[in-house]
Structure 1
Amino acid sequence: MRDNSANLTTIDSIDHVEQEFNLKEYLLRYVRYWYLFPIFIFLSLIVAFLYLQVTQPVYSTKTSILIKDENKGLSGAQGDILSELSTQFGGNKLVENELEIIKSQTLMEQVIKELRLDVSYTAKQGLSTINLYRTTPITIVPEVVTPFGFQEPMIVHLVDSLHFRFNDEEQLFSYNQRFNNAWGAFIVTKNKAGVDNSVDKIQVHFTEVKNLAEHMLERLTVQQPNVKSTVLELTFEDSDVQRSKDVLNKLLDVYVQSSLTDKNSEASNTLKFIENRLGLITGELGDVEKDVESYKTTQGITDISAESQLFLENIKENDSKLNEVNTKISILESVDNYISNAGEGAVAPATYMIDDPVLVSLLTKFNELELQRERYARTTSPNNPLLQTINTQLAGTRQSIKENVQNLKRGMAVTKRNLEGINTRFSAGLRSIPKKEREFVGIKRQQSIKEELYLYLLQKREETALAYASTVTDSRLIDAPISTFRPVKPRKAVIWLGAGVSGFIIPVLIINLLFLLNNTVQRREEIEKSTNTSILGEIGQMKKSGENPQGEDTIIKMTSRSAVAEQFRALRTNLQYLGDGSCRVIMFTSSIGGEGKSFVSVNLAASLAYSDKRVLLIGLDLRKPTLHERLQVSNKTGASNCLIGQGSYNDFIQSTGVHPKFDVLTSGPIPPNPSELLSNGKLPVMLEELKTQYDYILIDSPPYGLVTDSALIAQYVDATLYIVRYNYTLLDHLRRIGEIHQSRRFANLSVIFNGVNYGAGYGYGYGYGGYGYGYYSEDSDSKATSVTAKIKKLVS
């Protein structure tokens, strides 16, 4: 045995002991709780099975469309007159913009309304829930849905072909009637074709269109598989295959209709503008023709002279130019008015009636930006950066158009003045013509002007109407919606694998948490490194069984072949290494009660007696004696009587009945002043006299961590055995043992590690004599412990 004094350290060094990491010991702690792993793996697999039974499988449906993007060379066929007309109003499309438009909230809400997806029908089938889309026996048309109706499903019980009832109500109702209840006001109709007649209990779910649209958009994926192409791939996930196909088809229909509406808006505005102008010109032309007819009738003019005809042709040509200039000025004024009042219902001008390419380009760009702004305004918030960028571009384009219009108007004004000067000269020439003929020429000139303008507007109206009628969509369906054969969610392999991994990880976390929260002594090294004292012996945990119902409260049969009995024999052998080998008076103490002082002292005394040693066990726990209960002897008289001088100690020593050489001196009646009784000087005298009669005197003392009685007894003993119990003694109590050892308060202090669980995870095994716990036959019968008992112990 090592010399205790050779390993004395300071208290600071005890507090800062660094424990080396032992991988084997770390892994064995999990083996100790091996039964948790199959339990949690089994429970995890059960949870996975129930989850797969309850969760509806989700399928993925895909479709693809082609977007005609002129920037990527996908415009209409060249030379096609219909394509030329449609491109006058259609503008250019960007695939990126169309991608965001398809994913807009507005389009999805329209899909929900047209398919009536805000009312869904489900039914229970075992543990799972089935969807009754297109197979529901009834249809509910809600007029008003209350907030409660959006939160709780309404249950409809189908009684027969004519009647049904709501929830748990007993009243029967008929179909095609208006009902009012807590869910709202609605009408229930009976379906006849394509229904599931096996369902008699239907859950009806009402969902707000806005919330449902957000949820469906989360399940919708729109992506561009190849950045070099203009193909968009749409993927929608749903538990019902037919519903997912209907959603994608309806979404594409709504998108196409929205695109056509945007494309026709400019042509419609232009057509309205031309119709208004035609109305004015038609009235003016009719008035002029009446003037010609009236003038000829009143003046009797049937023909004009050759000179008048020449002036008339020149004036007509000049007036035609002047009329064209006035028309262009009128168009420029309409352009200026449209730009100034854009967004306030102003009619868009006909861009192809302007021959200035710069202005035409600016107007086309402005109309495209205006259409984009309207699209994003419906699908995004006002603070969206993309919308703000378009607004900025609109402002810049509007300013450029205004400047260009002003420049053109100034040029047209100069041209108009020149033409009016020429007309003035021609008019002077006509003065030589007779007054009647000159007046007739003037009226005829107005008639020609109105006719040319009228024919021009008729031509443009037909072109605009043809373009409006021939407008086609800029997208084309490539693949119809196709659904996957197997569900994409939940993935059974992943669920089963995750359940198995969870069943392994959860016990690991629990075990680590138990070790982190456990502040009791678990390992032999903790005692050695924290107290710097020697461990004289280890005592294994006594198992409770049918033959041993009391567990650690029992007295071991020293003839037994159990491992605990062998450990007491090893401890008996190690007593010769205490001090100089002559320690005969030994005290047992601990930090707190319940650490096994009485158990160890009784069984060690029995073991010494079986080795042919006379042993006396003295109970000096004068505050809470238990020794007499273990040995089942009387405690009416004992050590307290000796210490107060009521008689000789030989009068109070009793035979235990365990072995003829094993006697006991119980504590006796509990005195009012135990500390004063132990320090009155009679204890050392009694011990000296008893040494002459016994080979070993073992003293069961009170816990040192609670009272000072042990310190009073320690000065009269040869050695002190401090009991530390596995998974019971607190780690903080080891500090007290280190302080006692460092200050030499107790002579020949050693530690006995009691109640050690030698199951896998303890880390060492029985270290004396090379035996392993459970090696002996008496242990093998009780080695297996039920899982239930292990769980109860783990929880405790």
Structure 2
Amino acid sequence: MKDLTTNEGMNPMFQEEEQEFNLNEYLRRYYRYWYLFPVFICIAFIAAFFYLQTTSPVYNTKTSILIKDEKKGLSGSQGDILSELSTQFGGNKLVENELEIIKSKTLMEQVIKELSLDVSYSTRDGLRTVSLYKRSPVVVKPEVITEFALKEPLVVHVVDENHFRFNNEEKVFSFNQRFANAWGAFVVLKGPKSTYDKVTVTFKDTKNLTEGMLSRLTVEQPNTKSTVLEISYEDVDTQRSKDVLNKLLDVYVQSSLGDKNSEASNTLKFIENRLGLITGELGDVEKDVESYKRTQGITDIGTESKLFLENIKENDSKLNEVNTQISILESVENYIQNAGEGAVAPATYMINDPVLVSLLTKFNDLELQRERYARTTSPNNPLLQTINTQLAGTRQSIRENVQNLKRGMAVTKRNLEGINTRFSAGLQSIPKKEREFVGIKRQQSIKEELYLYLLQKREETALAYASTVTDSRLIDAPISSFNPIKPKPSLVWLGSALVGILLPVLLINFLFMINNTIQSREEIEKVTHSSILGEIGQMKGTVNGVPGEESIIKMTSRSAVAEQFRALRTNLQYLGDGTCRVIMFTSSIGGEGKSFVSINLAASLAYSDKRVLLIGLDLRKPTLHERLGVPNRFGASNSLIGQGNYEDFIQSTGVHPKFDVLTSGPIPPNPSELLSNGKLPVLLEELRHKYDYILIDSPPYGLVTDSALIAEHVDATLYLVRFNYTIHDHLKRIGDLQRARRFNNLSVIFNGVNYGAGYGYGYGYGGYGYGYYSEELEGGSKSVGSRLKKLVGKV
């Protein structure tokens, strides 16, 4: 048969195998720890069960309102009067702005205050906490709340219909009493009848409660082309969520109406003030007319005086309009100067200049917006600062426009006064009494016209004020979802199952990441490019008080490991050209099973009627004599230094008549020099004639150079690699030895393989694995867990 150790020409093939993904090997790592999956899944299901039992279901309540947006709303369908009033006093709303206003802290704080949500009531129902909103048998009306109350809830135990007690106190109190304790000052009232007699009263900080409620409030615009807003609120209590939405919309509407009525109210105040002044002046003029006629006895005015009177009256009317305009401009100037300090807004209807009317309208709109955002935003809000900047610019423009108009009015007034002077000169021919009467009558006519004008504007403003309606309309009343939105049992159970699977997967991958030891024979073949001559399973339990991994196997048994040694014995004929009789056992480090494998392989060879000699050449740390139970006073070290004939040092092991051992003997001070003095090859050559197989237990190659000295005189080397013990870096040494051909006929023995842990597919005949054999370690016992693991491990 071809030499199994000749792998030089197979390097490309091995490199290609290193790049291939072995699904069977990948899944085997999880199969090895199969018991973690049911354990973690059970833990995850238990956690999911308690989570569902302790978590209160959350419901979603929705409502929708229509906002009359000036850009997207209806237009042109109203009557002329209503359209004019809407234009004069209607609110200029944007859906985006209203969306932010509804979510403002100011409105939510008002909702909390009116619904008394800063005091909540709950109780325990099994593992779950149940809300008692509007169902609590006790109602607490707080007057003063302390910091302690915000941290610790107050527990009220209902004793009977008229009495209760606090926390764990024994003292009983009556309802409708005022208390002052660590929680503050409050009154406890009797609530509706309830089956719960233990109520937990929780006091909440309004600021924190507002932020929490706003986080559960959602305001969305489903369609950007419409002005409909959809408002939803999440809560464990459906009735409370409905009340919150209803009260929020109510507060929002009242706030909107207040803003809209502000301008009309200011206009009415201005007109009322002007009417009061004009009424007094008109009364004085009428009294003057009556008094003059009575004292002067005037009953009629001549035709000539009528002509002058009409001209003067027309001119005086114009002059009065100019004076009125100047007065209005002065009031505008005063309003602009004192805006924001309670100044009454001027009536824009009596201003003829369209530019000034536009600026005043813009100023009033900006002032309303500033007041609205000042209630809902902070002073440093960029939007509020932008509005303040626009107000300052508009105020400056109004001032400049008023100054220009006043200068123009002054010129017109001087012209009209000059015309009056000329007309007055024409009246000199009229009798003095008639002339004086015309002057008084002229003042009466002017005051009457102005009085009627103000009365008309007052009625128009009052009508607009009375007809003011909100710019929003409720579409759907708040409706709560029938099923809770969270937690959803199906998703919780599915998530727990996934977590129960994912956690062990992550744990297993983590264990493999931190584990740098050899787990499979494929790893050995990929790194070393060496053939594996045989596998030896893990020895568990004890045999006659000796650990399994150090025991001598009974070769006549039908145990799994005994069969593996028989297979290894058979594979020795394939080493080299089949004539390898002197075989060395070595490894990377100690503890990988050189002595265990060499002793049991020698015993197996002896049972096949072969004369076998096992030589202990681990001159630094000998263990063969301890395992075989023979003395070590003399041995190989004595023979190598010439202190007698080797035949005097060879001992029978007692394991089998054809199994002899040459122990290492006394530990020499210079093992390496002793092995290289030239006597070892002579010793081995003489022993070849007396024994069929000579097995040498040598020191670890990875620690000392003794094995390299011995390897020069043997036919083959068996390198021990131990499952879950040898680290990956040590395999590189085997690969280096294989490429350099430093060891003759180098092969690997995979020792201590744990098949019960899900490794591979077993090792046996016909794929049945070692479960086919009934014998195990003598004196070993099988636990229920090991039987189950062995049963599951069969594939």
Q: Give the TM-score normalised by the residue count of structure 2.
A: 0.88
The one-letter code matched in structure 2 to 1:198 is Y
Distance 1:785 1:320, change over 3 A: farther
The one-letter code matched in structure 2 to 1:778 is S
Give 2:194's match in structure 1, choosing from 193, 196, 200.
196
- What residue is the counterpart of 2:793 in the other structure? none
Q: Deviations over 1:218-264 (max 9, x none)?
A: 21122223333322221111111011001000000100110011001
Distance 1:463 1:724, change over 3 A: same
CA distance in 1, matches of 2:605, 2:393: 108
Is it true that 1:776 corresponds to 2:776 in the alignment?
no
- What residue is the counterpart of 1:514 in the other structure? 511
Contact 1:593 1:703 survives alignment (8 Å): yes
Q: How far is 1:651 from its partner?
A: 4.9
Is it true that 1:627 corresponds to 2:630 in the alignment?
no
Q: How far is 1:502 from its partner?
A: 2.3
Is it true that 1:211 corresponds to 2:212 in the alignment?
no
CA distance in 2, matches of 1:536, 1:441: 141
- Residue range with higher mean Cα deviation, 236-245 or 517-526: 517-526
Give 1:616's match in structure 2, choosing from 600, 610, 613.
613
Give 1:347's match in structure 2, choosing from 338, 344, 354.
344
The one-letter code matched in structure 1 to 2:178 is Q
CA distance in 2, matches of 1:169, 1:678: 90
Q: Deviations over 1:559-613 (max 9, x none)?
A: 3333332221121112122233332222211111221112211211111011111
Q: How far is 1:341 from its partner?
A: 4.5
Written as runs of structure 1 = structure 2, the 5 A alignment for 1:276-355 is 276-296=273-293, 298-301=295-298, 303-355=300-352
Contact 1:718 1:748 survives alignment (8 Å): yes
CA distance in 1, matches of 2:10, 2:338: 93
Q: Deviations over 1:596-651 (max 9, x none)?
A: 11221121111101111122223333444433443344556554555566665555
Distance 1:635 1:149, change over 3 A: farther
Contact 1:45 1:499 survives alignment (8 Å): yes
CA distance in 2, matches of 1:629, 1:121: 78
Q: How far is 1:686 from its partner?
A: 4.5
Q: How far is 1:54 from its partner?
A: 1.7
CA distance in 2, matches of 1:317, 1:549: 136
Give 1:259's match in structure 2, choosing from 242, 253, 256.
256
Written as runs of structure 1 = structure 2, the 5 A alignment for 1:122-133 is 122-133=122-133
Q: Deviations over 1:87-145 (max 9, x none)?
A: 52223222222222111121112111221222222222222111121122333344444
Q: How far is 1:758 from its partner?
A: 3.8
- Residue range with higher mean Cα deviation, 128-137 or 438-447: 438-447
Distance 1:532 1:118, change over 3 A: same
Distance 1:435 1:120, change over 3 A: same
- Residue range with higher mean Cα deviation, 587-596 or 659-668: 659-668
CA distance in 1, matches of 2:238, 2:538: 63
Distance 1:349 1:237, change over 3 A: same
CA distance in 1, matches of 2:262, 2:726: 87
Distance 1:679 1:215, change over 3 A: same
CA distance in 1, matches of 2:326, 2:546: 116
The one-letter code matched in structure 1 to 2:202 is H
- Residue range with higher mean Cα deviation, 724-733 or 612-621: 612-621
- What residue is the counterpart of 1:187 in the other structure? 186
CA distance in 2, matches of 1:321, 1:96: 48
CA distance in 2, matches of 1:45, 1:285: 91
Distance 1:119 1:297, change over 3 A: same
Task: Name structure 2 gaps, 5 residues minimum.
Answer: 791-795
- What residue is the counterpart of 2:115 in the other structure? 115
Secondary structure of 1:526 counterpart: helix
The one-letter code matched in structure 2 to 1:705 is G
Q: How far is 1:685 from its partner?
A: 4.9
Is it true that 1:360 corresponds to 2:357 in the alignment?
yes
Is it true that 1:691 corresponds to 2:719 in the alignment?
no
Q: How far is 1:731 from its partner?
A: 0.8
Distance 1:284 1:345, change over 3 A: same
Is it true that 1:98 corresponds to 2:94 in the alignment?
no
- What residue is the counterpart of 2:221 in the other structure? 224
Q: Give the TM-score normalised by the residue count of structure 1.
A: 0.88
Distance 1:439 1:548, change over 3 A: farther
The one-letter code matched in structure 2 to 1:58 is V
Distance 1:402 1:12, change over 3 A: farther
CA distance in 2, matches of 1:586, 1:121: 85
Is it true that 1:721 corresponds to 2:718 in the alignment?
yes
- What residue is the counterpart of 1:794 in the other structure? none
The one-letter code matched in structure 2 to 1:124 is R
Q: Deviations over 1:483-542 (max 9, x none)?
A: 111111112222222222222222332233233332112232332332233322222233
Using the aligned pairs only, state the percent identity: 76
CA distance in 2, matches of 1:778, 1:678: 45
Q: How far is 1:724 from its partner?
A: 0.5
Secondary structure of 1:37 counterpart: helix
CA distance in 1, matches of 2:596, 2:410: 123
The one-letter code matched in structure 1 to 2:32 is R
- What residue is the counterpart of 2:479 in the other structure? 482
- What residue is the counterpart of 2:661 in the other structure? 664
- What residue is the counterpart of 1:375 in the other structure? 372
Contact 1:585 1:717 survives alignment (8 Å): yes
- What residue is the counterpart of 1:134 in the other structure? 134
Contact 2:590 2:700 survives alignment (8 Å): yes
Contact 2:275 2:451 survives alignment (8 Å): yes
Secondary structure of 1:204 counterpart: strand
Contact 2:538 2:549 survives alignment (8 Å): yes
- What residue is the counterpart of 1:594 in the other structure? 591
Q: How far is 1:34 from its partner?
A: 3.0
- What residue is the counterpart of 1:177 in the other structure? 178
- What residue is the counterpart of 2:418 in the other structure? 421
Contact 1:14 1:735 survives alignment (8 Å): no
Written as runs of structure 1 = structure 2, the 5 A alignment for 1:413-562 is 413-544=410-541, 550-562=547-559
Distance 1:79 1:746, change over 3 A: closer
- What residue is the counterpart of 1:236 in the other structure? 233
Secondary structure of 1:203 counterpart: strand
Contact 1:9 1:532 survives alignment (8 Å): no
Contact 2:5 2:530 survives alignment (8 Å): no
- Residue range with higher mean Cα deviation, 497-506 or 686-695: 686-695
Is it true that 1:577 corresponds to 2:578 in the alignment?
no
Q: How far is 1:472 from its partner?
A: 1.9
CA distance in 1, matches of 2:782, 2:29: 18
Contact 1:63 1:248 survives alignment (8 Å): yes
- Residue range with higher mean Cα deviation, 297-306 or 39-48: 297-306
CA distance in 1, matches of 2:788, 2:702: 32
Contact 1:62 1:481 survives alignment (8 Å): yes
Written as runs of structure 1 = structure 2, the 5 A alignment for 1:54-93 is 54-74=54-74, 78-79=78-79, 81=81, 84-85=84-85, 87-93=87-93
Distance 1:100 1:113, change over 3 A: same
RMSD: 3.7
Is it true that 1:733 corresponds to 2:692 in the alignment?
no
- What residue is the counterpart of 1:44 in the other structure? 44
CA distance in 2, matches of 1:189, 1:672: 95
CA distance in 2, matches of 1:431, 1:780: 150
The one-letter code matched in structure 2 to 1:96 is E
The one-letter code matched in structure 2 to 1:105 is K
CA distance in 2, matches of 1:783, 1:21: 36
Secondary structure of 1:786 counterpart: helix
Q: Deviations over 1:270-317 (max 9, x none)?
A: 122222223333343344344445545554555544544554444334
The one-letter code matched in structure 2 to 1:127 is L
Distance 1:71 1:719, change over 3 A: closer
CA distance in 2, matches of 1:361, 1:243: 47
